[in-house]
Structure formats: structure tokens, C-alpha cells
Amino acid sequence: MIRRPDISTRHARAAPRARATSLHVMAVALALACSHAHADEPRSAFRPCIDPSNLPFANEHGDGFENRIAELFAQKLGLPVKSYAFPQRMNFIRNTLRYRLPGEDYRCDVVMSLPVGFEQAAATKPYYRSTYALVYPKGKGLDSIRSGNDLFALPPDVRNRLRIGIYDKSPASQWLVKHGMEAQAKPYPILSPDPDNSPGDIIEKDLVQGKIDAVVVWGPIAGFYAKRVRDTPLAVVPLVSEPGVKFDYAIAMGVRFGEAEWKATIEKLIADNQGAIEGILRDYGVPLVDEHGQPIAQGTSRR
């Protein structure tokens, strides 16, 4: 947290701070000038920054929807795809989009998914909106649940026996606490040190094996892994935001600050190929919602 200086020290620090600010402005101006120069250079490849093992989003084998969209954009530009992979843990932007050694080029030019409002990159206009979803196995006593409110309307003896898997520090934990169901929550760490750990393990392993009764996860993870499970039919219930709990988010792409021309190119690709992008997302089971967080039926335009 930034601490405000007290009155006695504020004026004493003003002059050094002014000099530091001037130097900072000069450095930023120089960085922007370099960025503009890079942005104007012809591109020899479409170079997305991806995670090497993070389905349904991306992997190094090209199996994710980010990979598919990158291939679509590269085809439209007449360029090959050249991905740069780095685990999407902490400092992903610094180690991918903004990573460059002296005398070398950047490793990649576009992050394929980041939330609108993200401050470490210049975000494009959003290309999809999704929401958190509740996933449960069909035929196990929860089939009456068609919305979040239906969960809380279950008989108390049924509701109190539930074990609901959630990732810690997610809207799901806030939601269960708000409705008095924190005792039913089984938290999982949102970041795992194991590179082989998949965000879908909570569904493919623990939910399917009966270690938990339901999960609440980000929509693309919910839809993809529920669709991939073959031997246990799973229901996916998109959740609607409510006061104090935001479930739905708009997702954009991101480029380096100062590369306005490249950002405009990406935004045009998004606009011109929105139908194809939505088709790819549907293939991966991504639940799509409108700007009000309401589910969009397949075949309905979101624009």
C-alpha cells in the first residue's frame, strides 16, 4: 500500500521528487518512441505470448482456443504463427510481451487473453465475455439446479452435506460466504507450483471421482473440461453477478504500450472475424454472456 508522507516531510521531498518525475517522463518518452519504431516495422510472423500447458486457453502443441484464434489471425495477415511460451504464473507479461535482451527483438507481440482494464499491457476491445459457472454431475441429486439461486433453495439437509470445490481468492469464495455456505467450500490453491497441474483437474479428477459434489470455476475451464469428460455427464450452470459478487468479465487481447498501429490491427482482426472467433469458443464449450452478464444462446449475435 502507498503511504502518504506526513506534512513535515512532504515539502522536503518535493524537489527530489520533481527531478525524479522529470527523469521518469523522459524515460517514458524514449520508451514510447522506441515502441513506435518497433510497431512500424514489417512483421515476419504472428507471435502470440502463450502458456505452454494451460488448456483450454493454450499449450505448446496448439490445442487451445488461443492457439486456434492466433492461427486464424495469422492466416488473415498472410503470416506464419511463431508462439513464445512461458508459464502463466507471476510476472507473465514481464517475461513475455515486455521481455527483450539488449540488441534483440521482443519474444512475442500479443497476449491472447487478458481482462479489460488490465494495467500491464494495452488492452484491445473485448472479443468475448464469460462468467463463472457451477458444474455438477447429473443424476446425483442436484439436477434441479438451473441457476445460482437454485443452489441456495435446496433443502437444508441436502445443502449442508455438499462439498463445493472452489479456487481460493476467487468470486466463488465470496459468493459462498455471502450466502452462508463457507462450511461447504473446499478451497484449492489458485496457483500451483507443479507445471503439470491443470486448472481442470478439479473437474476431471476430484469432481468425477466423487471427492467433491460440485465446483465453481471460471467459465472457459468449466465448459471445456465438462465437455471433455466422457464417462460422467456433467451440467454446467453459468452464474449471474449479484451485488457484492462479480462473476462475468470481458476478455481482450493485449499489446505493448505505444504500439497503437499494431493494436488497431488486432482490433480490426477481432471485429472482422467475430463470428469465427465465437465459433471457436463454442467448440471449446466456453459459456458466453452479454454485457449484462446474461447467457447468450448459441446462434445469437452478441453485438
Enumerate domains of the chain plus CATH numbers.
131-238 (3.40.190.10)
Q: 139: left (phi > 0), else alpha (psi -120 to 50), else beta?
A: left
Phi, psi of 224 (to 5 degrees): -65, -50
Confidence category of residue 4, pLDDT binned at 50, 70, 90: very low
Average pLDDT over residues 1-20: 36
Inter-residue contact 152 to 220 (CB < 8 Å): no
Q: Mean pLDDT over residues 244-253, rounded?
A: 98
Q: What is the pTM of this model?
A: 0.84
Determine the pLDDT at residue 32. 40
- Residue 116 scores a pLDDT above 80: yes
Average pLDDT over residues 19-47: 53
Strand 234-238 vs strand 128-137: parallel, antiparallel, or unpaired? antiparallel
Non-local CB neighbours of 124 within 8 Å, separated by 6+ positions: 252, 253, 254, 255, 263, 266, 267, 270
Which of 63, 60, 45 has its CA nearest to residue 110?
Answer: 45
Give me the mean pLDDT over the 85-101 stretch: 92
Rounded Cα–Cα distance for residues 254 and 202 (Å): 28
Instruction: Identify the pLDDT of residue 197.
Output: 75
Mean pLDDT of all residues in 137-151? 97
Q: What is the DSSP string of 192-242?
A: -S-TT--TTHIIIIIITTTSSSEEEEEHHHHHHHHHH--SS-EEEEEPPPB
β-strand pairing of 110-115 with 48-50? parallel
* Backbone phi and psi for residue 114, each to the nearest 5 degrees, phi listed first: -155, 155
Phi/psi zone of residue 287: left (φ > 0), alpha (ψ -120 to 50 degrees), beta? beta
Statement: residue 242 has pLDDT above 70: yes
